[in-house]
Amino acid sequence: MMGLMMSSPLTVTSILRHACRFHPHAEIVSRRLDGSIHRYTYAEFGRRVHRLANALARLGVRPGDRVGTLAWNSYRHLEIYYAVSCMGAVCHTINPRLFQDQIAFIVDDAQDSVLLFDTSFTGIVDELAPRVTSVDHYVALCDQESLPQSAAPGLLAYESLIADEPETFPWPALDENAASALCYTSGTTGNPKGVLYSHRSTVVHALAVSGGDWLCIRARDAILPVVPMFHAGAWGIPYAGLMNGAKLVFPGHAMDGASLHALMEGEEATMIAGVPTVWMELLRHLRETGGRLDSVERMMVGGSACPPAMIRTFEEDYDIRVMHGWGMTEMSPVGTLGSLKFHEVRLPAEERYAIQSKQGRPLYGVELRIVDEHGQPLPHDGQTTGMLQVRGPWVVGSYYKNASPHAFTEDGWFDTGDMASVDGEGYLRITDRTKDVIKSGGEWISSIDIENIAVAHPDVAEAACIAVPHEKWAERPLLVVTPQPGKQIDKRQLLAFYEGRVARWWIPNDVVVVEELPHTATGKLSKRSLRERFKNHRWPDSGGG
Ligand code: ADP
Instruction: Examine the domain organization and report whether 56 and 138 are in the same domain.
Output: yes
Ligand 1 centroid vs 195 CA: distance in angstroms? 15
Instruction: Examine the domain organization and report whether 423 and 469 are in the same domain.
Output: no
Please indicate whether residue 232, judged by its CB atom, sits closer than 6 Å to ligand 1. yes
Instruction: Examine the domain organization and report whether 408 and 513 are in the same domain.
Output: no
Indicate the number of domains in the chain.
3
State yes or no: pLDDT of 545 exceeds 60: no
pLDDT of residue 231: 87
Instruction: Examine the domain organization and report whether 425 and 447 are in the same domain.
Output: no
Ligand 1 centroid vs 417 CA: distance in angstroms? 10
pLDDT of residue 374: 94
Report the share of the chain in percent with pLDDT over 90.
92
Residue 56 lies in a domain: yes
Residue 526 lies in a domain: yes
pLDDT of residue 544: 45
Please indicate whether residue 357, judged by its CB atom, sits closer than 6 Å to ligand 1. no
Q: CB under 8 Å to 40, separation ≥6 — which residues? A: 27, 28, 75
Angle of CA points 521, 522, 523, to nearest 5°:
95
Residue 331 lies in a domain: no
Averaged pLDDT, 410-434 = 96
From 178, 198, 218, the end of a domain falls on: 198
Averaged pLDDT, 242-262 = 98
Ligand 1 centroid vs 242 CA: distance in angstroms? 25
Residue 336 lies in a domain: no
pLDDT of residue 524: 85
In angstroms, the CA 267 to CA 252 distance is 14
- Nearest-atom number in ligand 1 for the CA of 360 is 23
Report the share of the chain in percent with pLDDT over 70.
99
Tell me the best of 322, 326, 433 to mutate to test the pocket of ligand 1, counting ligand atoms within 8 Å of each CB and taking the most. 326
Please indicate whether residue 326, judged by its CB atom, sits closer than 6 Å to ligand 1. yes
From 198, 220, 237, the end of a domain falls on: 198
Q: Please say whether the beta carbons of 179 and 198 come within 8 A.
A: yes
Chain segment 12-38, per-residue pLDDT in tens? 999 999 999 999 999 999 999 999 999
Residue 4 lies in a domain: no
Averaged pLDDT, 290-307 = 96
Chain segment 46-75, per-residue pLDDT in tens? 999 999 999 999 999 999 999 999 999 999
pLDDT of residue 187: 64
pLDDT of residue 543: 46
Residue 212 lies in a domain: no
* pTM of the predicted protein model: 0.94
State yes or no: pLDDT of 248 exceeds 80: yes
State yes or no: pLDDT of 411 exceeds 90: yes
Averaged pLDDT, 503-525 = 91
Ligand 1 atom 26 nearest Cα: 304
The CATH number of whichever domain residue 492 belongs to comes to 3.30.300.30
Phi-psi region of 55 (alpha: psi -120 to 50; beta: other; left: phi over 0): alpha
State yes or no: pLDDT of 494 exceeds 60: yes
Instruction: Examine the domain organization and report whether 422 and 460 are in the same domain.
Output: no
Instruction: Examine the domain organization and report whether 96 and 137 are in the same domain.
Output: yes
pLDDT of residue 191: 84
Name residue 179's beta-bridge partners: 198
Ligand 1 centroid vs 243 CA: distance in angstroms? 26
Tell me the best of 191, 368, 399, 418 to mutate to test the pocket of ligand 1, counting ligand atoms within 8 Å of each CB and taking the most. 418
Please indicate whether residue 281, judged by its CB atom, sits closer than 6 Å to ligand 1. no
State yes or no: pLDDT of 123 exceeds 60: yes
The CATH number of whichever domain residue 169 belongs to comes to 3.40.50.12780
From 139, 165, 198, the end of a domain falls on: 198
Averaged pLDDT, 349-378 = 96
Averaged pLDDT, 93-121 = 96
- Nearest-atom number in ligand 1 for the CA of 520 is 3
Please indicate whether residue 460, judged by its CB atom, sits closer than 6 Å to ligand 1. no
User: How high does pLDDT run on average in the chain?
Assistant: 95
Chain segment 169-215, per-residue pLDDT in tens? 999 999 999 999 999 997 666 789 999 999 999 999 999 999 999 99
Averaged pLDDT, 94-116 = 96
Averaged pLDDT, 292-314 = 95
Instruction: Examine the domain organization and report whether 377 and 518 are in the same domain.
Output: no
Sheet-wide strand order for 37-41:
37-41, 27-31, 247-250, 222-225, 271-274, 298-301, 321-327, 334-337, 361-362
Averaged pLDDT, 93-112 = 95
CA 171 distance to own-chain centroid: 29
The CATH number of whichever domain residue 398 belongs to comes to 2.30.38.10
Residue numbers of the domain that contains 152: 12-198
3-class secondary-structure state, position 332: coil
Name residue 249's beta-bridge partners: 29
